[in-house]
Amino acid sequence: MKPQAVIFDLDGVITDTAHLHFLAWRQVATELGIGIDEAFNDTLKGISRPESLRRILRHGGKEGVFTQAECDKIAARKNALYVDSLQTLTPNAVLPGIRELLQALRTERIKTGLASVSLNAPAILQALQLTPWFDFCADAAQIQRSKPDPEIFLAACRGLDVNPRECIGIEDAQAGVEAINACGMRSVGIGVNLTGADLLLPTTECLTWSRLSTFWQHDK
């Protein structure tokens, strides 16, 4: 028995753009007189851009200080800084083991999907030269709710025409693991500080088809 599809998160699973998000948010936050560090940035993983800004303002005690139009402008400025930093992204930035896994899934005829809430996901896949390896990428622009809501994973399942219960989801963020679990998929967490994942692997290097296949057959 094999899963019908494997659905990937982008940031932290396929490539590590979390640091680039951090640098852009830190610059914008500093301009607003708010300090953020990498530990705080970890809590923004898998969280949409507007919701990330809300959390940063709350963190800095500035919730409700800015109008919606001002918030939109701040978020746009962060995105401009972030998009600029994406110019440094090349195919070398694909995390270890990911290309091999995508190759193995194609050989096994298992569908592949992307469930990223990043509006920049298509450009990132393009820069990594990974676009042709995905059968369907859920469109973050159509999503109303950020992870931990399962909406983005369910959209990926719909686009792939698969049953969530027959799929594996891979995530590096706590909110993402909760989103996978909430739609009945089997969850694989990447990292050490995650709770609730059906399978927890320390790095993407351990993310082989052989490991996923054993997990699917024995832990399902």
Q: Based on the residue annotation, tell me whether 149 is a catalytic residue of this protein.
A: no
Q: Does 15 bind ligand B16 (CB under 6 A)?
A: no
- Is residue 9 flagged as an active site residue? yes
Point out the catalytic residue in the list 9, 135, 172, 198: 9
Closest CA to 28 of 84, 74, 66: 74
Paired with 187 in beta bridges are 169
Question: Which residues in the 31-50 window bind ligand B16 by CB under 6 A?
Answer: 44-49
Site for ligand B16 in 112-171 (CB under 6 A): 116-120
Structure tokens at 8: 């990937």
Interacting residue with ligand B16 among 9, 135, 178, 198 (CB under 6 A): 9
Vertex 177: Cα angle to 40 and 122 (nearest 5): 80
Residue at 56: amino acid letter:
I
Amino acid at 47: I
CA distance 212 to 189: 12
Binding mask 91-130 for Mg ion (x = CB under 5 A): ----------------------------------------
CB atoms within 10 A of CB 13: 25
Catalytic annotation, residues: 9, 11
Binding site for ligand B16 (CB under 6 A): 9-12, 21, 44-49, 52, 79, 116-120, 173
